[in-house]
A and B are shown apart, each in its own frame.
Chain A
Amino acid sequence: MRFGADLLAVDRFSLEVKAGEFVSIVGPSGCGKTTVLNLLTGLIPLEQGEISVRSRRPFAGNPDVAYMLARDSLLPWRSTLDNACYGMELRGVARAAREGKARALLARVGLKDFAGAWPKQLSHGMRQRAALARTFCLDSPILLMDEPFGALDAQTKLQLEDLLLELWNAERRTVVFITHDLAEAVALSDRVIVMSARPGRIIADMPIDLPRPRSVRALQKDPRFHELYADVWAKLEEGLGRALEEVH
Chain B
Amino acid sequence: MSRWGRAAAHAVFVITFLAFWEFAAKKGWLDPVFFGFPSGIAEYLWDGFAVRKTLWLQLGYTVVGTLVSFFLGSFLAIVLALAFVTWPRLEHAMDPYLMVLNATPRIALAPLFLLWFGLGIGSKIAVGTSLSFFIVLSSTVAGIRGVNPDHLILSRSLGARPLQLFFKVTLPSAVPVIFSGLRLALIFSMLGVIGAELIAAEHGLGQTLSYLQSTFNMNGVMGLLVLLALLGMAVTRGMTRLERALLKWQ
Contact = CB atoms under 8 A, between A and B. Distances in A.
Interface of A: 41-43, 60-63, 65-67, 69, 71, 73, 75-78, 86-87, 90-91, 118-120, 138
Contacts of A87: 158
Interface string B211-250: 0000000000000000000000000000000000001111
A60 B151 CA distance: 14
B249 A60 contact: no
Contacts of A138: 158
A75 B169 contact: yes
> Main SS of chain B's interface residues?
helix
30 contacts: A41-B157, A43-B156, A60-B156, A61-B157, A61-B159, A62-B159, A63-B159, A67-B153, A67-B157, A69-B150, A69-B153, A73-B148, A73-B151, A73-B153, A75-B151, A75-B168, A75-B172, A76-B249, A77-B172, A77-B173, A77-B249, A78-B249, A86-B158, A86-B168, A87-B158, A90-B159, A90-B164, A91-B158, A118-B249, A120-B249
A73 B169 CA distance: 11
B155 interface: yes
B148 A61 contact: no
B12 interface: no
A43 B172 CA distance: 23
Interface string B138-178: 00000000001011011111111000100011001101000
A42 B160 CA distance: 13
B166 to A, nearest CB: 13
A119 B148 CA distance: 15
Given A90-B164, A118-B249, A120-B249, A73 B158 contact: no
Interface of A is mostly: loop
Nearest to A92: B159
A87 B168 CA distance: 12
B157 A65 contact: yes
B154 A69 contact: yes
Contacts of A86: 155, 158, 168
A30 to B, nearest CB: 18
Nearest to B246: A77
A133 to B, nearest CB: 14
Nearest to B165: A90
Contact of A60 (B159, B169, B172): B159
A26 B3 CA distance: 59
Q: Name, among B153, B154, B159, the residue most crowded by chain A CB atoms within 10 Å (CB to CB).
A: B154
Interface in B163-201: 164, 168-169, 172-173, 175
Contact of A90 (B150, B158, B175): B158
Contacts of B154: 67, 69, 73
A73 B154 CA distance: 7
Nearest to A61: B159
B250 A76 contact: yes
Contacts of B173: 75-77
